Amino acid sequence: MPYRIAKLKEKLCENQLDSYLVSRPPNLRYYTGSMGGSHLLIASDIDPLLLVSSLDSYVVKDQAQGCLVEILSQTNQVSQIADYLREASCINVGFDDLSHRFLHRLKERLPEITFIQNHEIIWSQRVVKDASEKNLVKEAGRLADLAMNALQEKLTLGVTEYLLAAEASYAMTKEGAESHAFDFIIGSGPRSAYPHSSVTNRKIKRGDLIVVDIGATYKGYRSDITRTFIAGRPNPKQMEIYETVLRANEAAYSEMKSGASCKYVDNVAREIIEKSGYGAEFIHSLGHGIGLEIHEPPTVSQRSMEKLEVGNIVSDEPGIYLHGYGGVRIEDTILVTAKDPIKLTRHPRKLDEVVI
């Protein structure tokens, strides 16, 4: 991905860095297009240098674009990397992730070089998705929709959460999802009140709220969708919390515009839930960025200092959780554009569409 590396080089310059040593796997994938690399050295006067283990060299050479690929020594990595840094005349080296020991040994060998951990420089770039990334998240969203649809078709009294997870997994994997975007959450009955639940062998019962939070990974990129289903005719309380969460979701969605502060967007949803009397039960933030990782910047929360920009992809996921009773969360993956926001997950979610 030479254009991404070129942009990083501009940002290095603005941050008084002349080089950057990339080691976090999602960052390596972002800059090289390849999954197998170990370290990537980006410096002013050399071509990007990707170090790989010999095991991965064939795959990486096929995948990595615009990089020199060298085999990483298995016995002497610190010396090898120190030599490259010296040869590239590095002075101020940014890095994302090096162990304390590795960094200490690098510094011993290179007392003339300053090392500065700087995640922000990469996040400021990754937070704005480019065209290729938008297409990949869109496809991951399509796969998550397929999975939610397959799950809903099997959702009936007496089936286990396990079986529902299997149906979702099958549908997305058959069409090309390389993995689940995260461990699925299928919380039925009282378990729906745990925002971070899991999947169990509990069987669906009449009257259950069923929170289903799933996502697909496609070529490294992720999607995130939650639907809450209701087993049987909803009672007035279920209807009230469902409709409240849906209104909060819709209201926040329509504010997800370039320039809007994340704090404001969170607050739009939060006020609706507070006015319905459930403010204390909306116990998490409204959303998070989604891309190569399932939780990325920006954070759409009460404490967030960020503003939404064109090209952000974030979740919109208000929820109400009544401990011991049940919960409702409704979530979609949203692309911020120069005009209206675009939903990248689209499974139906009106009240009458989620009653089973």
- Applying CB under 8 A, the residues found at the interface with a copy of itself are 35-36, 54-56, 58-59, 74-75, 99-101, 103, 117, 162-163, 165-167, 169-171, 173-176, 178-180, 183-184, 193-199, 201, 217, 283-284, 303, 323
Could you give the residue ranges of the DSSP H alpha helices within the chain? 2-14, 25-32, 57-63, 77-87, 100-109, 120-126, 131-154, 161-174, 236-254, 262-275, 351-354
209 or 336, CB closer to a copy of itself? 209
Centre a 10 Å sphere on the Cβ of residue 167 and count the other Cβ atoms it contains.
20
Length of the chain: 356
Rounded to a whole number of angstroms, the minimum distance from the CB of residue 15 to a copy of itself is 15
16 or 54, CB closer to a copy of itself? 54
Is residue 287 exposed (0-12), middle (13-18) or buried (19+ Cβ within 10 Å)?
buried
How many Å apart are CA 183 and CA 159, to the nearest integer?
Answer: 20
107 or 233, CB closer to a copy of itself? 107
56 or 145, CB closer to a copy of itself? 56
Which residues are bridge partners to 92 per DSSP? Answer: 114
CB 115 within 8 A of CB 82: no
Question: Which two three-digit tokens encode residue 322?
Answer: 């009544």
Question: Which two three-digit tokens encode residue 259?
Answer: 């320039």
Rounded to a whole number of angstroms, the minimum distance from the CB of residue 345 to a copy of itself is 20
150 or 342, CB closer to a copy of itself? 150
Rounded to a whole number of angstroms, the minimum distance from the CB of residue 269 to a copy of itself is 16
74 or 112, CB closer to a copy of itself? 74
Rounded to a whole number of angstroms, the minimum distance from the CB of residue 137 to a copy of itself is 18
- C-alpha pair distances (Å), 233 with each of 230, 236, 351, 354: 7, 10, 10, 10
Residue type, 263: K
Residue type, 284: H
- C-alpha pair distances (Å), 129 with each of 126, 135, 173, 182, 191: 6, 10, 24, 20, 35
Rounded to a whole number of angstroms, the minimum distance from the CB of residue 326 to a copy of itself is 13
174 or 233, CB closer to a copy of itself? 174
Rounded to a whole number of angstroms, the minimum distance from the CB of residue 288 to a copy of itself is 12
Rounded to a whole number of angstroms, the minimum distance from the CB of residue 268 to a copy of itself is 20
